[in-house]
Structure 1
Amino acid sequence: MGKNKLQKFDDMNLYPHVFQYPFSILQNEGFDMKGKWNSIFFKNDHPIVLELGCGKGEYAVGLARKYPNKNFIGIDIKGARMWTGAKESLQSGMKNVAFLRTTIELITYFFSPGEVSEIWITFPDPQMKKVRKRLTSTRFMELYRTILKPNGIIHLKSDSNFLFTYTCEMVKVNHYPIIFQTEDLYHSGLKDDILNIKTFYEQQWLDRGLTIKYISFICENRDRLIEPNIEIEYDNYRSFNRSKRSENKEKNKFLNKD
């Protein structure tokens, strides 16, 4: 591991708004702020919004600046990336943003039922071969539904036609109410300055001439979710600078850390 990455990890261990909990600790001790994020950390009753797979935290920080009456939490397993948003928000003195280093599969260990108002999923890996790993699969919808308030909102921004098509079909077969849906966000006519916050990866896709897909929908409670049965053509390009081997190595190391 490079010296720069080690320094970032050392920094985040001292940041008061960054929380890092390996699975072994969660199993044995739990998370003491579960159900108490508003009262213990944010010290207000404002809505909580999550950015899943937050990377550098562009959305968590950008949204927190635009909406001081909401609380934002960026979640990712990649601590070195998260450091960028964590440092920026700390230096700016922002009180309505936090970061949580964990895998999204463990999200229910950190939030109680109905504690979260909205979820943003920004440019995740489309997981074209592994449906259970897709962040908009019914498996993850079950997790989100557990922590979302009634009529909680989910947003997806993606460069991937595969993931967008899959998500739209998942929304359709489960009869989730759609708020907005477009295959070309920046030519859709949607007047919403929130959507103009661009992540590191998003700008790369735009520079390559790719269109950005967006859908937002209400994650209503369902007795049973239906996994869509649809054949979708794979994306014919690869993500920038994403090493699955190194990412999985860091994920396993973090989960097994005492």
Structure 2
Amino acid sequence: MARSKLARFKEIAENNIVVEPGKSIFDQIKGNWNEEFFKNNHEIIVEIGCGKGDYTIGMANLFPNKNFIGVDIKGSRLWKGSRLAQKHGLINVAFLRNFVEQLSEQFVPGEISELWVTFPDPRPKRGDEKKRLTSVRFLDIYQSLVKPDGIIHFKTDDLVLFEFTLNLLQMREAKNLLYTFDLYQSDLQHHTLGIQTTYEKRFLSERQTIKYLQYTI
């Protein structure tokens, strides 16, 4: 492992903004994010597969009276996100290093007010459908943890993944489902808060359309 990578992991281990295995708070945080981490009773918004936290940090800047948690398994990504959050002086941001499959080990039902899935790996290979972050098992996890009437958002450039997700939600008769195959030619732009991830900017520069949907629990 490169020395710079070791240094980053060491920095993450010493950084209180990152909750990860090995830290005592990791096993105690379930149901206690407001009390133990944020020290307030503000609503919690979670970004799944957050990468370096473009949406997490962008929303935290816009809404200082809400709490934001970015979830990803890649330590190098969270290192970048945590440094950026601290550079902005944000006290309403946390990063959780864990697999999305294990989300229910760090949250109790209803603890999350809103959830974002932003530009996940489309998993295009045959047989990989169950690994998609909008497959049935993940939708079930989100539904179990987001409070009633809480909103789930999804953004992607990938048409196959978007159609796959949309079809699932329509079969499940998702409440208040709104969607567009071309966000920037639609009237749904305001729902995405004007925030663009690094991936999204790249896709737009390549003249790809951005797909978006939201629904309520």
TM category, shorter = over 0.9
Q: Distance in 2 between matches of 1:116 and 1:193?
A: 18
Q: Of 49, 67, 78, which aligns to 1:71?
A: 67
Structure 2 SS opposite 1:186? helix
- State the Cα distance separating 1:206 from its structure 2 match: 1.0
Q: Which structure has the larger Rg?
A: 1
Q: What amino acid sits opposite 1:209 in the alignment?
A: R
Does residue 1:125 correspond to 2:125, yes or no? no
Alignment check: 8 A CA contact 1:63 1:194 kept: no
Q: What amino acid sits opposite 1:197 in the alignment?
A: I
Quote the residue 2:8 is aligned against.
8
Fraction of identical pairs, as percent? 43
Q: What amino acid sits opposite 1:69 in the alignment?
A: N
Stretches of structure 2 that go unaligned for 5 or more consecutive residues are none
Does residue 1:196 correspond to 2:164, yes or no? no
Quote the residue 1:85 is aligned against.
81
Does residue 1:172 correspond to 2:170, yes or no? yes
Quote the residue 2:46 is aligned against.
50
Q: Distance in 2 between matches of 1:133 and 1:154?
A: 18
Q: Deviations over 1:181-238 (max 9, x none)?
A: 111111213351744211111111111110010000113xxxxxxxxxxxxxxxxxxx
- State the Cα distance separating 1:3 from its structure 2 match: 2.4
The root-mean-square deviation of aligned C-alpha atoms, in Å, is: 1.9
Quote the residue 1:211 is aligned against.
209
Stretches of structure 1 that go unaligned for 5 or more consecutive residues are 220-258
Aligned residues: 215
Q: Deviations over 1:147-202 (max 9, x none)?
A: 11112211000010011101111111111123431111112133517442111111
Q: Deviations over 1:129-152 (max 9, x none)?
A: 312111111111111122111122
- State the Cα distance separating 1:87 from its structure 2 match: 0.5
Quote the residue 2:18 is aligned against.
18
TM-score normalised by structure 2 residue count:
0.93
TM-score normalised by structure 1 residue count:
0.79
Q: Which shows bigger deviation, 52-61 or 144-153?
A: 144-153
Q: What stretches of structure 1 move > 4 A for 4+ residues in a row?
A: none
Alignment check: 8 A CA contact 1:56 1:200 kept: no
Alignment check: 8 A CA contact 2:180 2:188 kept: no
Structure 2 SS opposite 1:46? coil
Q: Of 143, 147, 150, which aligns to 2:148?
A: 150
Alignment check: 8 A CA contact 2:176 2:215 kept: yes
Structure 2 SS opposite 1:6? helix
Q: Distance in 2 between matches of 1:79 and 1:186?
A: 32
Q: What amino acid sits opposite 2:123 in the alignment?
A: Q
Q: Distance in 2 between matches of 1:75 and 1:123?
A: 13
The 1:197/1:30 distance shift into structure 2, 3 A limit, reads closer
